[in-house]
Structure 1
Amino acid sequence: MKEKVLEAYDKLAKDYEKHVDTQSGHNAYYERPAMMKLMPNDMNQLAVLDAGCAAGWYTEQLIKRGAQVTAVDLSPAMVEACKRRVGNEAAVFTCDLAETLPFENGTFNLIVSSLTLHYIDDWVPTFQEFDRILKPGGQLMFSIHHPFMDFKHFERSYYFAHELLMETWNKKESGPVEVTFYRRPLQEIVNVTAAQFTIERIVEPQPDLDSKDKPEALDWYKRWFERLSTNPHFLMVKARKKV
């Protein structure tokens, strides 16, 4: 599985670097605004880990809010794209979130993981590592595919399965790319998270109304606004390290 994810995202790196910010409404007008609303506006002196940084959009936003950012990704091509974006303003390197993380205990105030954890089969070791590297009172914020969306979109017959799925993304730079990820039921998402953290908030986002009238966004809103206003596509969790 790791090799499949690595191969796919090395291929997708140029698309993420060149096109996602401006051409992917699911990111620009749906997931990102909702995730950013969960975070403090002032992150001055906060140590933040961008866990699954891709081409560095979140890394850049965290820096703008004053955070001291470390960004990691499984894909070396994504890491290089992130470095091109933020230069020396963050520490950026390749790292596998399914393995022991190369950080001291209590390093970070906040861990942000955007649309990454559904590529990991077993969350327990990853969440144990997240807990270890968070400072007392530290927070974890993550977004993933909504289990209801995966269940419907892939026309699965058994909702409660924890299973590997695959779909083909056809992107401008890469062409067709097979992307594999795991789906799991909501109770597993909540219970595995709650075993390690105190859950403070769960968000099933709707499209960002602030961007609805932007000329570059009109086509996306016309196609997706009603559907995403009535059917969740992503799920966000805000949690805190237990005392």
Structure 2
Amino acid sequence: MKEQIKRTFNQLAHAYENSVDKVSLHNREYERPSMLRNIPNNIRSMRVLDAGCAAGWYTEQLINREASVVATDLSPDMVAATKRRVKQKAEVICVDLEKDLPFDDNSFDMIISSLTLHYIKDWEKTFGEFQRILKSNGVLLYSVHHPFMDIQISQNEDYFAKELLIDRWNKEGKIIEVPFYRRPLNEMINVTTAHFIIEKVIEPQPTQAFKTESPEKYEKLMKKPHFIIVKAINKK
């Protein structure tokens, strides 16, 4: 499955680099504003990991806020896209978040992971590594699919089961099958609290710009959330 996910995001890299930032309301006017509100404007003295950087939008935002940034992605094509975006301003490498991470203990002040963790089947190893590389009181900020959204496309309709699902995205006129894992909210929270203290759980709402551009989708998101964001503190 991991190789399939890698191939999928290699296919998506061109769209992420060239059109997602402008076209995708779910990114531009839904998930990103809420995430950015939870990142300090000035993080000059901080070393930040962008875990699952895609084409580097968040990497660039972190650089603009004067952080020292390391960006990682499973997809080599996404890594290449991020390098084109940020040039030499960040370290950008291919990393599998399900394995031992190539970083020293206590080497980051913050980890940002945007819409990435639902591509990982088992979170325990990943969160253990996040805890290891974060400094004491370091911040983990992540966004994932909201379980209430995922259950609507479930095949077995068993909310409490972990389930591999295939979504179909229309990107640049192509239909691309995107595999991901659905899991119940209690599993998300319990794995997080095994390693971190949760400071905040955010169910983002779309912006007024979203409402202007797509009032029908806006109304749907106001009633049925698609994403959930968790801000947690390293408790070691």
TM-score clears 0.5: yes
Q: Deviations over 1:28-74 (max 9, x none)?
A: 00000011111111111200000000000000000111110000000
Show the 5 A alignment for 1:9-88.
9-88=9-88
State whether residues 35 and 236 of structure 1, in contact with CA within 8 Å, keep that contact through their aligned partners in structure 2: yes
Distance 2:167 2:21 in 1: 22
1:42/1:66 contact within 8 Å kept:
yes
Q: What are structure 1's unaligned runs of at least 5 residues?
A: none
| 2:233 maps to 1:240 | yes
- Per-residue displacement from partner, 1:5-43 (whole Å, max 9, x unpaired)? 001000000000000000000000000001111111111
State the SS of the aligned residue for 2:87: helix
Q: Is 1:199 the equivalent of 2:192?
A: no
The Cα shift of 1:153 comes to 3.6
- Paired with 1:154 and 1:128, the residues of 2 have a C-alpha distance of 28
Q: Which residue of 2 is the match for residue 149 of structure 1?
A: 149
Equivalent in 218, 224, 242 of residue 212 of structure 2: 218
> 1:138-177, aligned counterparts within 5 Å?
138-154=138-154, 156-172=156-172, 175-177=174-176
Q: Secondary structure at the match of 1:179?
A: strand
2-structure distance, mates of 1:82, 1:223: 33
- Partner of 2:194: helix, strand, or coil? helix
**Matched ranges for 1:131-142 at <5 A:** 131-142=131-142
Distance 2:180 2:88 in 1: 32
State the distance in 2 between where 1:68 and 1:208 align: 29
| Counterpart amino acid of residue 97 in structure 2 | L
Post-superposition shift, 1:223?
2.9
User: Counterpart of 2:181 in 1: which secondary structure?
Assistant: strand
Percent same amino acid at aligned positions? 53
Aligned AA (1:234):
F
Alignment RMSD (CA, Å): 1.3
1:34·1:208 contact (CA, 8 Å) conserved in 2? no
1:6 and 2:33 matched: no
3-state secondary structure, aligned to 2:137: strand
- Alpha-carbon distance, 1:224 to partner: 1.3
Distance 1:223 1:154 in 2: 23
What does residue 184 of structure 1 align with?
Answer: 183
Q: Name whichever of 164-173 and 226-235 sits farther off.
A: 164-173
C-alpha distance in 2 between matches for 1:169 and 1:2 = 18
Question: What's the secondary structure of 1:232's corresponding residue?
Answer: coil
User: 1:155: Cα distance to partner?
Assistant: 6.2
Q: Does the Cα contact within 8 Å between 1:13 and 1:78 map onto a contact in 2?
A: yes
What is the rounded CA distance, in whole Å, between the counterparts of 1:5 and 1:151 in structure 2?
Answer: 20
Number of aligned residues: 236
TM-score scaled by structure 1? 0.94
Find the aligned partners of 2:169 and 2:212 in 1 and give their Cα distance: 23
Structure 2 gaps of 5+ residues are none
